[in-house]
Amino acid sequence: MHLRWLLPSSHDVVRPPPAIGKKRHSCSSTTTQASTTLTMPTNPHGTIILTGANGGLGTSIVSQITTSPSLSLSYHGIYCVRNTNSCPSLNTALTSHSTHSHSKYSLDLSDLASVRDVARDINGQVAAGVIPRIHALVLNAGFEEFTSDTHTADGFDMAFAANYLGHWLMTVLLLESMDRERGRVVWLSSWVHK
Ligand SMILES: NC(=O)c1ccc[n+]([C@@H]2O[C@H](COP(=O)([O-])OP(=O)(O)OC[C@H]3O[C@@H](n4cnc5c(N)ncnc54)[C@H](OP(=O)(O)O)[C@@H]3O)[C@@H](O)[C@H]2O)c1
């Protein structure tokens, strides 16, 4: 996956590599947010939110961001995993890039209360100016089951809830924090729906 569309377009002002302000914001501690490394660039382009950040493609996306100075130094990353206490692949992708400003959230897309908690926290941080507006919301998490048929506590089919309902609710709730000119929602899907 190429993330070139996140780079400044020819119409954007191309600034010299942003100086890193060593501002450490103290964020409110919530049950959803595990850790925050905020080393915010002085002129951040925006925030990138990624679901399924501990999975195969998710980790690959994080690696592309962290190994590209024009992305890692210009964007705040919000990486959502099912359990921030167990996300070894994401941690590996982040470990060697301590200058990348980011937060990790525990998010269960099959639990609409969890989606609401995460969205509320992110909206609060954008409204307070702690993090920049959302430039990209990358809906990458995916769940499938072939031999079983489980349901959520709300009674929805688990795959429908995790892949569609949770992501749909998250998108609707985060619209207020999107960058109104450049904000994008990227939804990864699969032929499995056929
Ligand atoms: N890989 C391919 O060839 C391919 C092809 C077509 C489409 N895709 C799509 O690309 C996306 C990523 O695929 P992938 O291969 O990277 O899959 P993956 O390695 O299985 O990663 C999927 C991620 O989604 C997370 N997830 C599952 N259920 C969740 C839930 N209820 N709440 C929050 N997170 C949840 C998983 O978290 P846990 O780690 O906690 O389980 C996992 O990290 C998927 O949407 C998939 O449909 C992939």
* Predicted TM-score of the model (pTM): 0.86
Question: What is the best residue among 50, 63, 82 to mutate for testing ligand 1's pocket, by most ligand atoms within 8 Å of CB?
Answer: 82
Structure confidence by residue, pLDDT tens digits, 163-172: 999 999 999 9
* 183 alpha carbon – ligand 1 mean position (Å): 23
Structure confidence by residue, pLDDT tens digits, 31-86: 466 666 666 666 678 999 999 999 999 999 999 999 998 899 999 999 999 999 99
Separation in Å, CA 119 to CA 16, 112, 125: 32, 11, 10
- Please tell me the residue having the least CA distance from ligand 1 atom 21: 55
Q: Could you give the CA distance from residue 76 to residue 53 in angstroms, rounded to a whole number?
A: 14
